Structure 1
């Protein structure tokens, strides 16, 4: 199949793209358009329920996390956005169905609350769970967040408290049991780095990679063939699904303003 010439940037305002996104079924979000002209999407119900985004600096991981989270919010989901840099997801502040946390104490408390909500949802019967909104846990800069949480817990952990941070334990529990509770994690980073080492990459049905090293590719996409040559094109990623299907894809570009305008249901301005 011949490759398609893609635009240098796939804007949310591209002709018919917004309509295509809004026509997707609940639980499905568009990542972008492949170089073969196919729509590449993630389906949280049909595949493993979580998404892993791993890129080098400037590879577009924050943009991908923002775009996917916004699409699920538009479908009626709620979201917990963990932003250890504090400024990467300012769009999330003030939206009624989004909890945004940036400082380590806030992230810790939010994840402890997530653990409690996960336990509550696992006790619901099917009809009650179906009525609960899907919950998206978006974790940017996961390496930094997990290191901060571990250090934070050590500052006040008592001798009878567990060694592992309860916040980290809650995130790990969401990865293992989230499908049964309509809880889904979009994680920017890698799951194999301590202290989240018990959650293998198999927990992520969709893996989005950009500008990664050959060793990282082999670790996160071992069945998807040899690592491709990294692209310097902004927004160009490789999407690996079902463990072996890799699609070179131009990811959707949605600005903070695009997201807020769309989610408050005001017609988006022309770009």
Structure 2
């Protein structure tokens, strides 16, 4: 398939891009535009979870922000978890977003997620259809999951389970989330020793940028050989159904997101 030259940046403010994003069906979000000119999107009804893995500066935080914001615009609710506490400032104060930063609050939020997941799984189809999608957006997941495990070890009683209930909640969401309209967008490469299965088996969409050959082979083993790393901001490879699409991801700033979600008629973002 013929390749085309991609823009070095695909800004949310670019002509017609916002309209293209807003025309996406409910449950579908635009990741970016591929080198063959196609719109590359994730459909949560077919690919319920997204894994983003990049090296430093590869744009993982931007991808999490963009995808989460698009689903929020469609009426979803979100649980935004970031141990850095500075990567997703846009999420603070929005009425349909729960934003948590320190380990204790992330732990409690995920325990609540497990309870909400169980509640949703008990709903009738009609009741579930009326419930908003719930997006669980976790930045820097490797470190966060490790901290959650250590946090649980400090407080675990003799009769408590060995695995952190917060980590168990993420694992449960990955396995049964589609049936409950709960979806995980995760930044990192969590090990099977933490989540209990290979990451590629849990995520229908994998977004890779500037990763090593070893990481590529681990997360996209059937998508062909690892490409040469591209240093352009926002340039990544999106793997869906074992096919890799070189893609320029959408650049959406904190200000873009807040303006869009709080004043959707404002087209000056």
Q: Same fold (TM over 0.5)?
A: yes
* SS in structure 2 of the partner of residue 194 of structure 1: helix
Q: For 1:221 and 1:195, how far apart are their aligned partners in 2?
A: 20
Shift of 1:269: 5.7
2:185 corresponds to which residue? 186
Greater displacement, 60-69 / 151-160 = 151-160
2:51 corresponds to which residue? 52
The partner residue of 1:258 within 236, 256, 259 is 256
Q: Deviations over 1:108-134 (max 9, x none)?
A: 000000000000000000000000000
Q: For 1:211 and 1:267, how far apart are their aligned partners in 2?
A: 36
Q: For 2:203 and 2:223, how far apart are their aligned partners in 1?
A: 14
Any residues of structure 2 matched to 1:100-249 within 5 Å, and which?
Answer: 100-198=99-197, 200-242=199-241, 244-249=242-247
- Whether the 8 Å CA contact 1:77–1:133 is kept in 2: the answer is yes
Q: For 1:212 and 1:124, how far apart are their aligned partners in 2?
A: 41
Any residues of structure 2 matched to 1:84-95 within 5 Å, and which?
Answer: 84-95=83-94
Q: For 2:77 and 2:246, how far apart are their aligned partners in 1?
A: 30
Q: Deviations over 1:238-267 (max 9, x none)?
A: 00001x111000000000000000001244
Q: For 2:63 and 2:33, how far apart are their aligned partners in 1?
A: 13
User: Could you list the runs of 5+ residues in structure 1 that have no partner in the other structure?
Assistant: none
- Whether the 8 Å CA contact 1:176–1:199 is kept in 2: the answer is no
RMSD: 1.2
- Whether the 8 Å CA contact 1:118–1:183 is kept in 2: the answer is yes
2:25 corresponds to which residue? 25
- Whether the 8 Å CA contact 2:199–2:219 is kept in 1: the answer is no
* SS in structure 1 of the partner of residue 255 of structure 2: helix
Aligned length: 269
Q: For 2:3 and 2:198, how far apart are their aligned partners in 1?
A: 36
Shift of 1:199: 5.4
Shift of 1:48: 2.8
* SS in structure 1 of the partner of residue 61 of structure 2: helix
Q: For 1:67 and 1:119, how far apart are their aligned partners in 2?
A: 28
- Whether the 8 Å CA contact 2:66–2:250 is kept in 1: the answer is yes
Tell whether 2:96 aligns with 1:97.
Answer: yes
Call closer, same or farther: CA 1:199–1:122 in 2, change over 3 Å.
Answer: farther
Q: For 1:19 and 1:166, how far apart are their aligned partners in 2?
A: 41
Q: Deviations over 1:123-180 (max 9, x none)?
A: 0000000000000000100011001101111111111111100000011000000000
* SS in structure 2 of the partner of residue 3 of structure 1: coil
